[in-house]
Amino acid sequence: MLGYAAGALRKRSLLGEAARRSISSSAVLHARYDNITEAIGNTPCIKLNRMAPPGVNLYVKCEFFNPCSSVKDRLARAIIEDAEKRGKLKPGDTVVEATSGNTGIALAMVCAQRGYRFVCTMASSFSVERRKVMRMLGAQVIVTPAEGGGTGMVIKAQELAEKHGWYYARQFENQANPDYHARTTGPEILEDFKDGDLDYWVTAYGTGGTFQGAGRVLKEKLPDLKIVLAEPKEAPLITSGTKQERTTVLGEFGAPATRHPAWTPHPIQGWTPNFIPKIAEDGLDMEILHEVMLVSGPDAIKTARELSRLEGIFTGISGGGTVATAIEVCKKAPQGSTVLAMIADTAERYLTTPLFDEIDAEMSEQEVEIGLSTPGDIHRTFA
């Protein structure tokens, strides 16, 4: 929905600082591209003016400005282009992947643009609208039992890849994922905070691609930067200290062998599957992490709603979780600190989730009262 503006932002780097400052805040910078995937990236960092604790600068990097409204657009482009360069994909081939939704939507977009067939496996616990968006983009969605969680849908994708000879994207182990963030997300942040005025960077992990890829670049250029990783309180996998068991699949090591013992169901879709991804674990081994902080599902939902109502930033439960964590970081940070939090996707991915439980389709009593304050007729019922 908001992705149309992403490509325009690419022109920021082509403008001098004086020129950028002279453009009014209402101006739109336009750009032309040969295909939709070229519009991926260069998402904006936006300051929070009503939710940040006093004396601290809190920004959010809004990945919903990507064409299909999530950070996973980067991952999808990275994996498909890498497979093409290595000769793993040819015209008419099929790509298969396990996903909670955003990766599947992004892969469906890139495959549609490239002319590949895309088959997704997804646990039934994830929101229905994600399945519909993927199918709208031409994908086929194989729904797996909710009780199997992330490992269940991964196993199904592995089986399908082996049975049919399809290209298995392996988002949780594919190094093309974090490497793309190292080439794009990290440098974008450095450009936006090129005065070195970034003290904390807060992100979460789904695959760990953003954390590992952007994180290693940021830490190299800003050695004093404190990187904070958010994790669901209901699923403290990294916090537990228990290693993830791994196995070899299709000749590649790193896939989860079993569900992690510290995992329990949580409402922050896209975060922390029921295993620690290999990419996330590799990021931890790089010793770029300052701290892991836990956030509850209810706090993530509450913060996502506040972002909409107080800041006009329309994000999902995962974005709420990251910002809730960042606010806690702000409370402990020295005065004058600058904190940046990643916002992964849009609230439109969560219409059938608890995020919208308090949002009615029918008019409230107050809305009916406003409607009746003038002579024109209205539909008078209310929830």
Both 83 and 153 in one domain: the answer is yes
The verdict on whether 72 is a catalytic residue reads yes
Number of separate domains in the chain: 2
Total Cβ atoms within 10 A of residue 34: 6
212 with 277, same domain?
Answer: yes
Together in a domain, 27 and 155: no
Per-residue pLDDT, 12: 41
Strands 45-47, 291-295: parallel, antiparallel or unpaired by DSSP?
unpaired
- Whether 371 is covered by a domain: the verdict is no
Extract the runs of DSSP E, i.e. beta strands, from 167-309.
167-168, 200-203, 226-232, 246-249, 252-256, 291-295
Same domain as 76, residue 52 = no
Quick check: is 345 in a domain?
yes
Q: What CATH number is given to the structural domain containing 339?
A: 3.40.50.1100
CA–CA gap between residue 22 and residue 11 (Å, rounded): 15
> Does residue 376 sit within a domain?
no
Question: Own/partner pairs for 235-244, CB < 8 Å, 24+ apart?
Answer: 235/262, 235/263, 235/264, 235/265, 235/266, 235/272, 235/274, 236/262, 236/294, 237/262, 237/263, 237/272, 237/275, 237/276, 238/276, 238/280, 238/284, 238/292, 239/292, 239/294, 244/275, 244/276, 244/281
Same domain, 96 and 109: yes
| pLDDT, position 380 | 66
> Where among 168, 202, 220 does a domain terminate?
168
pLDDT for 25:
35
CB 288 within 8 A of CB 227: yes
Q: Is residue 19 part of a domain?
A: yes
What gap in Å lies between CA 105 and CA 120, rounded to an integer? 9
- In tens digits, the chain (383 residues) has pLDDT values of 334 343 444 434 433 333 333 333 334 457 899 999 999 999 999 999 999 999 999 999 999 999 999 999 999 999 999 999 999 999 999 999 999 899 999 999 999 999 999 999 999 999 899 999 999 999 999 999 999 988 999 999 999 999 999 999 999 999 999 999 999 999 999 999 999 899 999 999 999 999 999 999 999 999 999 999 999 999 999 999 999 999 999 999 999 999 999 999 999 999 999 999 999 999 999 999 999 999 999 999 999 999 999 999 999 999 999 999 999 999 999 999 999 999 999 999 999 999 999 999 999 899 999 999 999 999 766 54
Q: Is residue 381 situated within a structural domain?
A: no
**Which of 61, 69, 70, 72 is flagged as catalytic?**
72
With CA atoms as reference, report the closest residue to 147 among 171, 129, 180, 125: 125
Domain that holds residue 214: 4-68+178-356
Are 61 and 24 members of one domain? Answer: yes
Tell whether 287 and 206 lie within a shared domain: yes
Asked about 26 being catalytic, the answer comes back as no
d(CA 346, CA 354): 15
Among candidate residues 70, 125, 127, 318, the one labeled active-site is 318
* 49 and 80, same domain (yes or no): no
- Answer yes or no: do 91 and 192 share one domain: no
Residue 372 lies in a domain: no
Amino acid at 372: L
Q: For residue 173, is it within any domain?
A: no
Residue 100: the pLDDT is: 86
Q: How far apart are CA 379 and CA 383, in angstroms?
A: 12
Q: pTM score, two decimals?
A: 0.90
With CA atoms as reference, report the closest residue to 213 among 174, 248, 247: 174
Residue at 338 is within a domain: yes
- Give how far Cα 39 sits from Cα of 60, 76, 254, 344, Å: 20, 13, 31, 17
Yes or no: say if 345 and 64 are a contact pair by the CB < 8 Å rule. Answer: yes
Pair (329, 277) in one structural domain? yes
Q: How many CB atoms lie within 10 A of CB 280?
A: 27
Do 189 and 96 belong to one domain? no
Beta-bridge mates of residue 3: none
Co-location of 143 and 215 in the same domain: no
d(CA 82, CA 41): 17
Query: 8 φ, ψ to 5°?
Result: -60, -30
